Structure 1
C-alpha cells in the first residue's frame, strides 16, 4: 500500500489546485446576484439581502460536481411574532417537518405580510391566526421582483450583458432558478425565500450530540435554529442546510484529511460513477452527510491523519448505507436521505464497491499513472457484514465499522480491538461464507 500513497496524494493535489479558481468563480457569480437582490430589496423591503456567503464559497470550492446552489433571501419578519403551526412530516420517517406561518390577531408590525399578494385569510372565526403567509404567493412576488430588477440592472449597466439567464423563471415550480455566468463557467442558483427561526427549533429535539467534533460544537450550532423554506403551495418545511454547512466548516478547522476525503469521493462520484454528471446518482449533500457520520463514528484524530485511511473510513459508512438502503439525516432523527427519490441504489452500490476494491483506475489522472493494480481489498465477508445494520440498528456503532475497516487496515487501539472482538462473535457465522 505504501507504493500507492503518492497516487492518492497526487489526485488530491489536482483537486486542490482548482479550489482558488472555483472560489473566484463563485464570488463573481455572487456579486452579480447580490447586485440583483439589492434592487429587489429596493423595490420591496419585505425581502432582505444576505451578504454572509463565505461558507457557501468554501463548500463550492470543495466540490467537483456542478449541482445548483441555494441563494437564500431572508424575509423581513420576526419569527417570534408569528404563529408557527407544525404539521408533522410529509411522510412518516421520510420527509422534513412541515408547518404553516400564521399571522396572529392584533399583533402590530405584521401589516406588510397581510397584503393580498402574500397572505391568505383564515376562514375559521375562532382561530388564533387571522390567516397565513402563503409560500406560493411569496414565490410569485419574488419572481416578479427578480424580473423587474433584472430589467433595471441591465438597462443601467449594473450587470454585464449575458451574465444572467432568467429562462428557468418561467417554469411553474416551487423554486426560482437563475443561471449566472462567471467567466467561462455557468453556475445555477436556486433563489429561496427563507424565514430564519432562532428559537424552538422544530424537528431537532432529537438531534444527536456526537463525538468527533470539538466539545460543544454541535449543540452550539444547532442552538442557532433553522430556516423555514417553501415546500408546497401552502406549506413550509424545516431546512438544515446551513447548519450542516457550518458543521462541515468546523471539520475544516481540524487537522487531518476529513475534507480531502470528501473532495476526492465527490470528484470520483462526478467523473466516474455519474459519468461527468450525465447520469443520476449521489449528490454532494449525500456525501457530506456520510462524512459527518464517519467523523462521528471514527472520532479519534489519528483516524484522519493518513489520506487513504480517511477515504476508506468514509467509504465503509457509504457502503453500509447503500447496502442497507438507508442514509440517516445527521440532525433529524428518523429521516432517510435515500428514500423518496429515484436513485438506483443497486447500481450506485456496485460503483462504490468497485472503487473500494480497486481504486487505482479511478485515481489515475493521466497516462503516466498507469500501472499494475493490487489485488481487490474486499471480499464476500465484507459484503455480508454490510447488510447487518438493516436488521439490527445496534450495529450502527464505532466497533461495527472498525470490523469493516479492519478488513482493509489494521486497527491498533486496544479498547477498540476489544469492542471489535465482542461484535465479531455476533457475526462469526459469516466466516463460513469465505470457506
Structure 2
C-alpha cells in the first residue's frame, strides 16, 4: 500500500466538502419548501397526514441519502398511546379484502404488523375502511390514499412544472423535484412516530459493549422509534431520531470519527460510487461508522487519523464485497439484501484499488 498524508486528505476535505455542503443546503432548502407546501395542502384534505417541519438541512423529516436523493418522512397524526403486542395471529386477507386459504407471510426482522388496538388514543378517521383491514392499519392502503392526495395537491398547488410522480414497482412513493441545482429524487414515506417507547426487536445496547455509555444509551432509547409505510402489509422500523442523537457529540473526546466519515462519504460520491442514485448511501456509511465505534469504544482508538480512516475503508470494502451490512439496531437484517449485486461488486473493486494506492486517488 502506497502512503498518503493527513495533509493531503485535509486539503481534499476542505476543497470538496465546502462545495458539497453548500449544494446540499440549497437543494434541501428548495425541496423542503416544495414538500412543505404539498403536505400542508394534503393535511387540509386529510388531517391524518401532517405537514413536514421547516428546519433546513437539519430537518428531522429529511434524510439525505445523496445530494440528488432524499427520503422524507410524512408524520401521521391521530394515533397515540402505542403499546407493543405480545399475542400472535395469522392474517388471511389480501389488500382488496379477499380471503386467503393460507396466511400472509409474516414480517421480516425489520418489519412488524400494526393493529388499531395497539393505540390507546386514535382519531375517528383511523377507523375508516380506507386504511384498515381486519383491525390492521395497512401500509399499502395508507400509501394509496397518500398518493391520491399527492396527485391532486400537485395540481391544486400549481406545482406540475416542478414536481412529477415516478412510476414505481412496489409500495413506495417517489417523486422528482426540479431545483435550481439539479433534479432530486424524493421518496415520501408516511410515518407513525412512536416516542418514549423502544421496540423489543431492537435488543440494544448489546451485552458487554462499552460504547455508547449507559447514560447515552438510556437517553437514546427515550427518543423511541418510528414505523414507516414502505411495504404492502408490514411497517418498517426506523430509528432516525436515535441515530441522530447517537452521532451528536460523537467526537467530544477529541477523536476523528466524523472527519473519517465525511471524507469517506465525499470519496464515495466522487470516486467509488458516483451515480445520482447510488447503491451505497450516506445511511450505509453512517451504519458502518456506528458499528466501528462500538467495536473500538476507547478514545485512544480514534486518535490516529490515518489508521482510523483506513480501518473504516477496509471495513466498508469487506461489507461491500460480501454484500452484507447489518442494521445497527436490528441484528440479522442485511441492509444490502435488495441492493444490485453487480453495482456492489463494482464499488468493491474501486475500494480494493484505492486500498492498493490511496495517494493516487486523493491527489
TM-score bracket relative to the smaller structure: 0.7 to 0.9
Deviation at 1:252, TM superposition (A): 6.2
Deviation at 1:114, TM superposition (A): 1.6
- Tell me whether 36-45 or 210-219 shows the greater mean CA deviation: 210-219
- Tell me whether 244-253 or 352-361 shows the greater mean CA deviation: 244-253
1:98 matched to 2:120? The reply is no
2:185 to 188, 198, 208: 188
* Contact 2:25/2:57, CA 8 A, preserved across alignment: no
Query: Is the partner of 2:332 in helix, strand or coil?
Result: coil
Query: Is the partner of 1:166 in helix, strand or coil?
Result: strand
Give the whole-Å Cα distance in 2 for the aligned partners of 1:135 and 1:297. 36
Deviation at 1:190, TM superposition (A): 0.9
Deviation at 1:325, TM superposition (A): 5.0
- 1:379-394 → structure 2 map (5 Å cutoff): none
1:80 matched to 2:81? The reply is yes
Match of residue 22 from structure 1: 24
What TM-score does the superposition give when structure 2 sets the normalisation length? 0.80
- 1:152-163 → structure 2 map (5 Å cutoff): 152-154=156-158, 162=161
Match of residue 99 from structure 2: none
Match of residue 133 from structure 1: 137
* Contact 1:289/1:329, CA 8 A, preserved across alignment: yes
Deviation at 1:242, TM superposition (A): 3.8
* Contact 1:23/1:60, CA 8 A, preserved across alignment: no
What TM-score does the superposition give when structure 1 sets the normalisation length? 0.68
Give the whole-Å Cα distance in 1 for the aligned partners of 2:183 and 2:278. 20
* Contact 1:103/1:110, CA 8 A, preserved across alignment: no
1:177 to 165, 168, 174: 174
Deviation at 1:66, TM superposition (A): 3.6
> Could you report, residue by residue, the CA deviation over 1:371-397 in whole angstroms, capped at 9, with x for unpaired residues?
xxxxxxxxxxxxxxxxxxxxxxxxxxx
Match of residue 329 from structure 1: 327
- Tell me whether 197-206 or 138-147 shows the greater mean CA deviation: 197-206
Give the whole-Å Cα distance in 1 for the aligned partners of 2:125 and 2:199. 25
> Could you report, residue by residue, the CA deviation over 1:346-370 in whole angstroms, capped at 9, with x for unpaired residues?
5443322221221112212xxxxxx
| Structure-2 change in CA distance of 1:302 and 1:15 (3 Å) | farther
Give the whole-Å Cα distance in 1 for the aligned partners of 2:241 and 2:148. 26
Give the whole-Å Cα distance in 1 for the aligned partners of 2:82 and 2:59. 33
Match of residue 35 from structure 2: 33
Deviation at 1:339, TM superposition (A): 3.1
| Structure-2 change in CA distance of 1:35 and 1:255 (3 Å) | farther
* Contact 2:82/2:119, CA 8 A, preserved across alignment: no
| Structure-2 change in CA distance of 1:17 and 1:52 (3 Å) | same
Match of residue 408 from structure 1: none
| Structure-2 change in CA distance of 1:302 and 1:23 (3 Å) | farther
List alignment gaps of at least 5 residues for structure 1: 123-130, 365-435
Deviation at 1:112, TM superposition (A): 0.8
Match of residue 306 from structure 2: 308
Which protein is bigger by CA-based radius of gyration?
1
Query: Is the partner of 1:180 in helix, strand or coil?
Result: strand
- 1:150-299 → structure 2 map (5 Å cutoff): 150-154=154-158, 162=161, 164-168=162-166, 170-171=167-168, 173-198=170-195, 199-208=197-206, 210-213=209-212, 216-251=215-250, 255-274=254-273, 276-277=274-275, 281-299=279-297
> Could you report, residue by residue, the CA deviation over 1:104-125 in whole angstroms, capped at 9, with x for unpaired residues?
39977442112122222x2xxx
Deviation at 1:62, TM superposition (A): 8.5
List alignment gaps of at least 5 residues for structure 2: 91-103
* Contact 1:82/1:101, CA 8 A, preserved across alignment: no
> Could you report, residue by residue, the CA deviation over 1:128-184 in whole angstroms, capped at 9, with x for unpaired residues?
xxx222211111111121122222222xxxx6x83x32231x445311112223322
CA-atom RMSD, angstroms? 3.6
Deviation at 1:322, TM superposition (A): 4.3
Match of residue 93 from structure 2: none
Give the whole-Å Cα distance in 2 for the aligned partners of 1:348 and 1:317. 13
Query: Is the partner of 1:51 in helix, strand or coil?
Result: coil
Larger RCO (CA under 8 A, 6+ residues apart): 2
| Structure-2 change in CA distance of 1:75 and 1:106 (3 Å) | closer
Structure with greater helix percent:
1
| Structure-2 change in CA distance of 1:167 and 1:46 (3 Å) | closer
The number of residues matched between the two structures is 344
